[in-house]
């Protein structure tokens, strides 16, 4: 590439002092060399101005996230993603991209946008694979595990655990979703519901709310099969609602077949399937014996 740069300088100098035929030949050669020179400038010779501009964008993005400005943060994130396309891959570029995308992950959690969360994580993981070490890495990895739990993607959850070091697995941000997954697997729903008060960071509340809804639905499925009726105070305690109003809202939105009568919650009997008595066993036996007799006669 140094040779290309020097050759282009020499060609430009001789071009203005040569005959028209020589100029035509030089122009043809120049058309071959110039694209290589541009490639060199773009991929091998990063400009400090571009990196400085990206660092300023990162500072702006960070301030937007800290201020809770979701819309402004999303706009700043889009700008820095575009700017990163002009910066050649290097250790500095990888770290800068990881920092920006981690802030993007936090923004998507603040916005409650699971699709944006998944996109930012997909873009962030290659930077981690290239060795990016950032301050928020454990925090973001823990949020990703929470996301996989909420989506019930347990195979991917365990695949992510295999990539963690012992130090990372023992970090509070990551050990929290690991413990939650174990409680879910053994059916300790009461412990899962109580875990919301022990979240390691406020950003985990969004995923806990989604997870609590799933757990409450599971408890409700068990309750309506196990009981014909239940006191509302017992249902509130069992499903970890804070007030009777929350229970009423849940029944109206998710369990319209439940009936609230004063302080009692009545459950509609689940539709029963076929019972053993519904099977015409004697008729089937008679038919089988008849077929066997006919077969014996034929033989």
Confidence of residue 27 (pLDDT cuts 50, 70, 90): low
Q: Determine if residue 131 is left, alpha or beta; phi over 0 gives left, psi from -120 to 50 gives alpha, anything else beta.
A: left
294 has a pLDDT exceeding 70: yes
Least confident of 66-70, 135-139, 173-177, 184-188: 184-188
**Dist. CA 250–CA 8, nearest whole Å:** 74
For residue range 99-126, what is the model confidence (pLDDT) as tens digits?
999 999 999 999 999 999 999 999 999 9
CA angle 51/52/54 to nearest 5° reads 65
Q: Looking at residue 28, what is its pLDDT? A: 56
257 has a pLDDT exceeding 60: yes
For residue range 192-221, what is the model confidence (pLDDT) as tens digits?
878 888 999 999 999 998 888 878 888 888
For residue range 243-254, what is the model confidence (pLDDT) as tens digits?
888 888 888 888
Asked if 45 contacts 86 with a C-beta cutoff of 8 angstroms, the reply is no
pTM of the model: 0.66
Q: Looking at residue 29, what is its pLDDT? A: 54
For residue range 35-68, what is the model confidence (pLDDT) as tens digits?
655 655 555 444 556 788 889 999 999 999 999 8
Q: What is the mean pLDDT of residues 20-37?
A: 56
């Amino acid at each position: 590439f140094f040779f290309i740069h020097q050759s282009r300088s020499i060609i430009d100098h001789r071009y203005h002092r040569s005959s028209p035929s020589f100029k035509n030949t030089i122009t043809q050669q120049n058309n071959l060399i110039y694209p290589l020179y541009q490639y060199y400038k773009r991929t091998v010779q990063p400009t400090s101005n571009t990196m400085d501009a990206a660092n300023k964008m990162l500072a702006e993005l960070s301030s937007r996230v800290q201020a809770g400005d979701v819309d402004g943060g999303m706009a700043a994130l889009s700008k820095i993603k575009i700017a990163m396309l002009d910066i050649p891959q290097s250790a500095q570029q990888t770290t800068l991209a990881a920092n920006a995308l981690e802030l993007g992950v936090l923004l998507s959690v603040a916005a409650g946008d699971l699709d944006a969360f998944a996109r930012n994580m997909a873009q962030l993981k290659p930077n981690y694979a290239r060795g990016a070490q950032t301050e928020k890495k454990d925090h973001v990895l823990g949020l990703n595990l929470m996301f996989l739990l909420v989506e019930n993607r347990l195979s991917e959850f365990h695949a992510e655990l295999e990539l963690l070091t012992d130090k990372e697995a023992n970090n509070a941000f990551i050990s929290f979703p690991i413990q939650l997954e174990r409680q879910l697997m053994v059916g300790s729903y009461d412990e899962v519901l109580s875990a919301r008060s022990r979240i390691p960071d406020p950003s985990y509340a969004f995923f806990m709310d989604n997870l609590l809804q799933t757990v409450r639905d599971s408890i409700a499925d068990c309750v309506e099969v196990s009981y014909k009726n239940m006191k509302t105070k017992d249902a509130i305690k069992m499903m970890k609602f804070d007030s009777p109003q929350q229970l009423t809202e849940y029944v109206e939105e998710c369990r319209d077949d439940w009936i609230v009568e004063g302080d009692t919650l009545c459950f509609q009997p689940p539709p029963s399937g076929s019972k053993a008595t519904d099977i015409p066993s004697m008729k089937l036996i008679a038919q089988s014996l008849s077929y066997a007799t006919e077969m014996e006669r034929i033989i």
